[in-house]
Chain A
Amino acid sequence: MVDRVRAAAGRALARVTGQALGPYQSAVLRIGIAGTWLFFLLRELPHRRELYGPESPWSWELGRRLIATNDAFSVLMWGSSAVWFEIVYAVAVLSAVLLLLGWHTRAVSVLFMVGVLSLQNRSVFMGDGGDNVIHLMALYLVLTRCAQVWSLDARRAARRRPGRDGPAGPLLWAVLGLVLLYAAVTGRLGAGWLAGFAALWVLQALWWTVERHDPDGAGRATLDVLANLVHNAALLVIMAEVCLIYATAGWYKIQGSRWQDGTALYYPLGLDYFTPWPGLSGLLAGSGTLVMLLTYGTVAVQVAFPFTLLNRRVKNALLAVMMLEHAGIAVLLGLPFFSLAMIAADAVFLPTGFLLWLGARAASVRGMLPGRRPATAGTDLAPEPGGPEHPGPAPAPEPDPEHPGPAPAPLPEPRPEPRPGTGGGGPAAVEQPSAGTS
Chain B
Amino acid sequence: MDSNEREGAAPGPRPAGIAGLPGPYRVVAALALGAVSVAACWHLAMVFLHVAPSNTVTKRHGATVDAWVYPEFEQNWKLFAPNPLQQNIAVEVRAQIRTEAGERLTTDWRDLSAEDARRIRHQLLPSHTAQNELRRAWDFYTSSHDEDEKPQGERGALSEAYLQRIAVARLAGTYGAGELLRVQLRSVTRAVAAPRWSTETTDTAPSYRELPWWTV
Question: Min CB distance, A327 to chain B, in Å?
Answer: 12
Binds B, one of A42-50, A90-98, A177-185, A201-209: A42-50
Please tell me if A229 contacts chain B, counting CB pairs below 8 Å.
Answer: yes
Q: Is B1 an interface residue (CB 8 A)?
A: yes
Within 8 A of B (CB), among A407-438: 412, 414-415, 417-419, 422, 433-434
Tell me whether A219 and B25 are in contact in the complex, defined as CB-CB below 8 angstroms, given that A126-B128, A267-B84 are known contacts: yes
In the complex, which residues 123-178 of chain B have their Cβ closer than 8 Å to any Cβ of chain A? 123-129, 131-133, 135-137, 140, 154-155, 158, 161-162, 165-166, 168-169
Asked if B37 CB lies within 8 Å of chain A CBs, one says yes
Contact of B33 among A59, A66, A229, A331 (CB under 8 A): A229
State the CA gap A18–B13 with chains docked (Å): 13
Q: Which partner residue on chain B sits nearest A434 by CB separation?
A: B1
Q: How many A-B residue pairs have CB under 8 A?
A: 257
Tell whether, in the assembled complex, residue B124 and residue A270 are in contact, meaning their CB atoms are under 8 Å apart: no
A241/B117 contact (C-beta < 8 A), A44-B127, A288-B198 known: no
Q: Which residues of A in the span 271-300 have a Cβ within 8 Å of any Cβ on B? A: 271-273, 275-278, 285-288, 291
Chain A residues whose C-beta falls within 8 Å of the C-beta of B198 in the assembled complex = 263, 288
Alpha-carbon separation in the docked complex, A249 to B7 (Å): 44
Q: Which residues of A contact B116 (CB under 8 A)?
A: 272-273
A222-B83 in contact (CB<8A): no
Q: What is the distance, in angstroms, from A257's C-beta to the closest C-beta of chain B?
A: 6
User: Are A18 and B124 in contact (CB-based, < 8 A)?
Assistant: no
Q: Does A336 contact B (CB under 8 A)?
A: yes
| A316 is an interface residue with CB less than 8 A from chain B | no
Chain B residue numbers with a CB within 8 Å of A240 are 44, 47
Nearest A residue to B196, CB-CB: A286
B78, B126, B169: which contacts A252 (Cβ < 8 A)? B78
B205 proximal to A (CB < 8 A): no
Distance A201 CA – B127 CA, assembled complex (angstroms): 36
Say whether, besides A125-B136, A132-B76, A272-B117, A13 and B127 are in contact (CB < 8 Å). no
Q: Does B85 contact A (CB under 8 A)?
A: yes
Are A51 and B7 within 8 A (Cβ)?
no
In angstroms, Cα B70 to Cα A73, docked, is 11
Contact with B along A242-275 (1 / 0, CB 8 A): 0011101100111111110001111110111101
> Which residues of chain A in 50-90 are interfacial with respect to chain B, using CB atoms and an 8 Å cutoff?
50-51, 55, 57-59, 62, 65-66, 69-73
Q: With a CB–CB cut-off of 8 A, which chain B residues contact A270? A: 88, 192-193
A419 near B4: Cβ-Cβ < 8 Å: yes
A8 to B: closest C-beta gap in Å: 14
Measured in the bound complex, the distance between the Cα atoms of B162 and A69 in whole Å is 16
- When chains A and B are docked, how far (Å) is the Cα of A183 from the Cα of B128? 31
Residue of A nearest to B197 (CB): A288
Inter-chain contacts of A412 with B (CB < 8 A): 3, 6-7, 16
* With A270-B192, A271-B88 as contacts: A43 and B127 at CB distance below 8 Å: yes
Residues in A with CB closer than 8 Å to B14 are: 221
| Contact A259:B82 (CB < 8 A) given known A18-B2, A43-B125, A225-B29 | yes
**A17 / chain B contacts, CB cutoff of 8 Å:** 16-18, 29, 33
- Contact size range, A: 35 or more
B3 with A415: CB separation less than 8 A: yes
CB-based contact A51/B17 at 8 Å: no
> A273 with B117: in contact, given A126-B136, A268-B84, A288-B198 (CB under 8 Å)?
yes
A126 to B136, CA, bound (A): 7
Contacts of A257 in B (CB 8 A): 82-83
Contact between chains at A19 and B79 (CB < 8 Å): no
- From known contacts A248-B78, A264-B84, A270-B192, infer whether A276 and B123 are also in contact, taking CB-CB under 8 Å: yes
Structural contact, A271 and B77, CB atoms closer than 8 A: no
- When distances are taken between beta carbons in the complex, the residues of chain B under 8 Å from A132 are 74-76
Provide the bound-state CA to CA distance between A62 and B166, in Å: 13
Q: How far is it, in angstroms, between the C-alpha of A352 and the C-alpha of B158 when the chains are bound?
A: 48
Q: Residue A139 at the B interface, CB < 8 A?
A: yes
Interface residues of A in 334-374 (CB under 8 A from B): 334, 336-337
Query: 0/1 per residue, A224-241, Cβ < 8 Å to B?
Result: 111011100110110011
In the complex, chain A residues whose CB is within 8 Å of the CB of B85: 267-268, 271
Whether the Cβ atoms of A47 and B125 lie closer than 8 Å is no
Residues 169-228 of A at the B interface (beta carbon under 8 Å): 218-219, 221-222, 224-226, 228
Residues of chain A with a CB closer than 8 A to B197's CB:
286-288
Confirm or deny: A135 has a beta carbon within 8 angstroms of a beta carbon on chain B.
yes
Scoring B residues 53 to 84 as 1 if CB is less than 8 Å from chain A, else 0, what string do you get? Answer: 00000000000000000111111111111111
**Does A47 contact B129, Cβ atoms closer than 8 Å?**
yes
CB distance from B209 to the nearest CB of A (A): 17
Q: Which residues of A contact B20 (CB under 8 A)?
A: 18, 221
- Is the C-beta of A325 less than 8 angstroms from some C-beta in chain B? no
User: Once the chains bind, are B19 and A139 in contact (CB under 8 Å)?
Assistant: no
Considering the complex, give the chain B residue whose CB is closest to the CB of A270: B192
Q: Is B110 an interface residue (CB 8 A)?
A: no
- 1/0 per residue, CB under 8 A from A, across B22-50: the answer is 10010011001100110110011001100
| Complex Cα spacing A276 to B129, Å | 15
Query: Which A-chain residue is minimally distant from B75 (CB atoms)?
Result: A132
Partner-A contacts on B (CB < 8 A): 1-4, 6-7, 10, 14-22, 25, 28-29, 32-33, 36-37, 39-40, 43-44, 47-48, 51, 70-86, 88, 90, 113-114, 116-117, 120-129, 131-133, 135-137, 140, 154-155, 158, 161-162, 165-166, 168-169, 192-193, 195-198
27 contacts between A and B (CB under 8 A): A14-B16, A14-B17, A18-B3, A57-B137, A57-B169, A58-B165, A62-B161, A62-B162, A125-B140, A233-B40, A252-B81, A257-B83, A266-B195, A268-B80, A270-B88, A272-B113, A272-B120, A273-B116, A288-B198, A334-B126, A336-B124, A336-B126, A412-B6, A412-B7, A412-B16, A415-B1, A434-B1
Known: A233-B39, A275-B117. 6 other contacts (CB 8 A): A50-B133, A62-B158, A225-B29, A253-B80, A253-B81, A255-B81
